[in-house]
Amino acid sequence: MSRIIAVCNQKGGVGKTTTALNLAAYLASFGKTTLLIDIDPQGNSTSGIGVDKHAITNSIYNVLIDRKPIGDAIVQTAVQNLWLAPSNVDLTGFEIEAINNPAKEYMLKSAIEGIRDAYEFIIIDSPPSLGLLTINALTAIESVLIPIQCEYYALEGLSQLLNVITLVRQRLNNELRIEGVLLTMADYRTRLTTEVINEVKRYFDSDEGSLMVGGRNKVYRTVISRSVRLSEAPGFGKPIFIYDKNSIGAKQYFELAKEVLGEAAAGPADISNNNRIKDLQALAQQGVIDTDIRIETETKKIEDENILPL
């Protein structure tokens, strides 16, 4: 049985693609056969994993609209155990072309029916809207991972997203639940980051939040920092663990993948540099990062290199 997770937030630029791509790549690196499905016409997951979106023969558009078998669109990526169902600008017309299909909300679900058991994980990167493509994702999956950027108005639009999730659960997919809420682009030099982390945790501890998440606190312990390396990696068509496996972003997405696999106990978000350095020491001991990394250098990296100016 595969686990099917969509990364959704109708807000643009909150880290959906970065999360979908790097989570999928880490799960694959742990030996899990993983399929990344790009259902965003921007095709950022497609190019970010190193596939030329202008040279695709069959994309997810051909699968959804032309009813091509998804196997005809799936390509192997440079990452072992990771496959991709690519997307490109063709998908822009999806909402209009699908409008008369009586099962228009179920098109992705039907498309993956035959292959869902061939993968241990299917990760879907969705577009920044609550339109039909996102509804298709929410209908096809078991759980949704919501990235939230640590910024002003972080919670704006969240209730709208949670309402749509509730509606989909009531009408189209009663299996749907929230996989987790991921805080992204944290900048620990600002009080804002800490405030947003606390606010998001409070929100999901509140009645409204806990209703949606089955009464459990679902904010991931791992928080993703604002990181130059993470923003550079897609330009090279590489996941972060290949682009710079010693970067803080690599370490944090590694931790997220472990949490998704259920290997790390959920707990309060760890936001102090001291604790992060302790984490790095532990990772060095496990051989996950090079043992000769000097912690002072890494601390400097946290302060200088990995945190972009606001």
User: Which residues contact ligand ATP by CB under 6 A?
Assistant: 12-18, 40, 42, 44, 128, 184-185, 224, 226-227, 230-231, 234, 249, 308
Q: How far is the CB of 128 from ligand ATP (least distance, A)?
A: 3
* Buried/exposed 37-54: b ≥16 CB within 10 Å, e otherwise: bbbbbbbbbbbbbbbebe
Is 17 among the residues that bind Mg ion (CB under 5 A)?
yes
16 or 251: CB nearest Mg ion: 16
The least distance separating ligand ATP from the CB of residue 23, rounded to whole angstroms, comes to 11
Does position 226 interact with Mg ion (CB under 5 A)? The reply is: no
Answer for which of 10, 11, 14, 16 binds Mg ion (CB under 5 A) is 16
- Residues that bind Mg ion (rule: CB under 5 A) add up to a total of 3
Span near Mg ion by CB under 5 A; candidates 15-23, 57-65, 68-76, 131-139: 15-23
Interface pick for Mg ion out of 44, 46, 222, 225 (rule CB under 5 A):
44
The length of the chain in residues reads: 310
Q: What is the 3-state secondary structure (H, E, C) of 161-186?
A: HHHHHHHHHHHCCCCCEEEEEEEEEE
Cα distances (Å, whole numbers) of residue 15 to 20, 45, 181, 184, 223: 8, 11, 12, 7, 12
Q: Which is nearer to ligand ATP, 157 or 293 (CB)?
A: 157
The residue whose two tokens read 């017309």 is 93
Beta-sheet strand order (sheet of 3-7)? 75-76, 82-85, 34-38, 121-125, 3-7, 143-149, 177-186, 219-225
Is 34 a binder of Mg ion (CB under 5 A)? Answer: no
Chain contacts with Mg ion (rule: CB under 5 A): 16-17, 44
